[in-house]
Copies of this chain bind each other. A is one copy, B any other.
C-alpha cells in the first residue's frame, strides 16, 4: 500500500514531522510519500488561509498521486478532502475525519483538543459537516500566540487540562487536532483517562483500510468524477486529471 500524505500547510518541517509519525505506525508493506503544499500559509489557522489551501491540496494531489493507492490529507481542517474524493481515482481521508470516525467506535461522545481559540468554530463546522455533531462533547483550544507553536511544555499541559475538562463534560474519547502536534498522543495518553486519538495515526490506518476494502469508485452522484471540464490558468496536472472522465 502506497499512501500519499499531503500537508496543506506550506511548512516542510511539519510535513517531515507528520511523515515520521505516519511511517512509524504504518503496517508492514505500507509506504508513505509525503509532500508539502506549494502555496499558501506556513501554518493554516483561519478560513481565508484554508480557502487558499484547498486549491494547494488538490494541486499537490494532481501532481503526486500517480502510483499511489490512497491520499491522506494531512492538515487538521481536512482541507480539500471532498474535492479529492470526487476527482481522484483513489480514496482520500482527512486526518481529523479519521480520528473522529475511530472515536465513534470507542465512546458515545468525543471531545476535540486543538491549538488556537479562533479555530474552535472552524472545527465545530468541520465536525458538523461530517454529520457528527451529536457525537461531539465539545472542542477546546490551548491559546497560542499566532507567531509561535514552540512552547511545547505549556501546550502539553494545556492539552491535558482541557482534555480533563472535556471528560467532565461527557467526552469518552479525545481527538487531538492539529498538524503541528501530530503524534504527541504517545506522550500525553498516560495523563488522560480516556483514549487519545491522533489524526495521522488514525489516518494512515483508515487509508490502509480503504485500500483493503477496495470499494468501487461511484459512477454517479457528487463523488463521481466531474467529467471533462474547461479550466484556465491552473496547474497542468489538474487539467489532465479533469480530463480523465
Using CB atoms and an 8 Å cutoff, list the residues of chain A in contact with chain B: 10, 25, 27, 38-43, 45-52, 54-58, 80, 82-87, 91, 93, 97, 101-102, 104-109, 118-122, 124-125, 128-135, 146, 167, 170, 172-173, 189, 193-197, 201-202, 205-206, 208-210, 212-213, 215-224, 226-234, 238, 242
Contacts and interface: CB of A to CB of B under 8 A. Distances in A.
Total identical chains: 6
A72 to B, nearest CB: 12
B134 A232 contact: no
A226 to B, nearest CB: 4
Contacts of A101: 101, 104-105
Contact of A54 (B55, B129, B167, B216): B55
A118 to B, nearest CB: 5
A231 B125 contact: no
A179 to B, nearest CB: 15
B210 A121 contact: no
Q: Which 10 A-B pairs have the closest CB atoms?
A: A39-B233, A46-B226, A131-B134, A55-B55, A195-B215, A51-B83, A48-B83, A51-B54, A48-B87, A121-B222
Given A51-B83, A84-B48, A135-B131, A232 B109 contact: no
30 contacts: A41-B230, A42-B232, A46-B86, A46-B87, A46-B229, A47-B82, A51-B55, A51-B82, A52-B55, A52-B58, A54-B55, A55-B56, A93-B105, A101-B101, A104-B130, A108-B223, A121-B170, A121-B172, A122-B222, A128-B129, A130-B135, A131-B132, A131-B134, A131-B135, A167-B220, A172-B221, A173-B218, A189-B216, A195-B218, A205-B213
A216 B195 contact: yes
A170 B232 CA distance: 31
Nearest to A80: B51
Given A51-B83, A119-B222, A194-B218, 8 more contacts: A38-B233, A40-B233, A106-B215, A106-B218, A107-B222, A107-B223, A131-B132, A131-B133
